[in-house]
Amino acid sequence: MKTAVITGATSGIGFETASLLARKGFRVLGIGHSEENCLKAQERILSENPDAKIAYFWGDLMQQREVLCLSRDVAAYLSENCDGELNVLINNAGCVRSWYATTDEGYEQQFALNHLAGFYLTHGLLPFLKKTKGRIIITGSKSHKGIKVRWGDVMLSRGYNPLIAYKQSKLCNVLFAKGINDRYAAEGVRAYVVDPGLVNTDIGNKKTGTLVKLIWALRKLQGVPPTVPAKTYAFLCEQEKAPEGLCYYLCRETTYSKQVTSENASRLFALSERLCGICYGREAAV
């Protein structure tokens, strides 16, 4: 049985992907923010599919100390129940914000959750992925195009614009996937980015201001249900031979920003390693 870990698996795209992968016979380890939402999601999946192999872990992925705890708990589970093997890691948890806000550790929240959390979690689970020549899938967005990383002020603390911060975090998703492929494709580990399109979820209604809530309430009505992008994750998980592309939309390769170069990917890797206090190449032994 193949195992998939998926973050943000309590609602929207992550929940539907967890549910679909469980129906397709994957053992699914979902990660969510709160115990309450994780138990509700688990119950919902099991009520629709009593044979689902599903377990949930919870914690605040914005806080690096909690990412570390989660990654240790998932690692222990994989060692005890899955022969230390992980086939797929889906870094999907994400948020939008209306104003500048930082985590307890001082990182801008969209950058912390949308990019750094996945970067840190992947580091902890990489040894398990290497054992299966596994796949890493990151939820990106078409909105990553048309901007550059602000290397001198990556948290955008000066002249904060929440939309730019979101777009930059999504550019970081593609750069991170590119960086993984540059480093680990030779060992069989591949990374992909899924552009889910516009999806009818509640992302814009969580911890945002009145104006964003209002705009999102109207905009999301144009979106597809989260069951639509879930199929693209399943496609990337199920292909026997690892697909060659980097970004996918509706199960097909799609274009990405010209900013996605090996040079920028390397620069982001180095910056993110410093911000997380970790070093890829020095992963924990399984």
Ligand X SMILES: NC(=O)c1ccc[n+]([C@@H]2O[C@H](COP(=O)([O-])OP(=O)(O)OC[C@H]3O[C@@H](n4cnc5c(N)ncnc54)[C@H](OP(=O)(O)O)[C@@H]3O)[C@@H](O)[C@H]2O)c1
Give yes or no for residue 202 binding ligand X (CB under 6 A).
yes
Cβ at position 99, least distance to ligand X in Å: 16
DSSP-derived 3-state class of residue 194? strand
Cα gap 89→3, rounded to integer Å = 9
In the shown chain, the binding pattern of residues 103 to 142 toward ligand X, with x for contact by CB under 6 A and - for none, equals: ----------xx------------------------x-x-
Residue 151: count of CB within 10 angstroms of its CB: 10
Distances (CA, A) of 69 to 64, 93, 137: 9, 17, 21
Q: Distance between the two ends of the chain, CA-based, in angstroms? A: 19
DSSP character at residue 3? E
Residue 56's DSSP bridge partners are: 30
Give yes or no for residue 17 binding ligand X (CB under 6 A).
no
Give yes or no for residue 37 binding ligand X (CB under 6 A).
yes
Q: What is the dihedral of CA 202, 171, 179, 132, to 10 degrees?
A: 20
166 carries an active-site annotation? yes
Dig out the tokens for 242 from the structure. 């690892």
Cβ at position 108, least distance to ligand X in Å: 13
Cα gap 41→30, rounded to integer Å = 9
Nearer to ligand X, 129 or 138 (CB): 138
Cβ at position 120, least distance to ligand X in Å: 12
Which residue in 61, 78, 237, 268 binds ligand X (CB under 6 A)? 61
Nearer to ligand X, 14 or 85 (CB): 14
Task: Report phi then psi at 94, rounded to 5.
Answer: -160, 165
Cβ at position 112, least distance to ligand X in Å: 8
Task: Report phi then psi at 50, rounded to 5.
Answer: -60, -20
Cβ at position 285, least distance to ligand X in Å: 27
Residue 116's DSSP bridge partners are: none
Cα gap 170→142, rounded to integer Å = 8
Give yes or no for residue 162 binding ligand X (CB under 6 A).
no
In the shown chain, the binding pattern of residues 206 to 245 toward ligand X, with x for contact by CB under 6 A and - for none, equals: x----------------x--x-------------------
Task: Report phi then psi at 37, rounded to 5.
Answer: -70, -35
Give yes or no for residue 32 binding ligand X (CB under 6 A).
yes
| Spatial contact of 12 and 226, defined as CB atoms under 8 Å apart | yes
Catalytic residue among 166, 184, 248, 256: 166
Which residue in 34, 161, 227, 239 binds ligand X (CB under 6 A)? 34
Stretch that binds ligand X, among 72-80, 89-97, 182-190, 252-260 (CB under 6 A): 89-97
Residue numbers annotated as active site:
166
Interface residue list for ligand X (CB under 6 A): 8, 10-14, 32-34, 37, 60-62, 92-95, 113-114, 139, 141, 196, 198-199, 201-203, 206, 223, 226
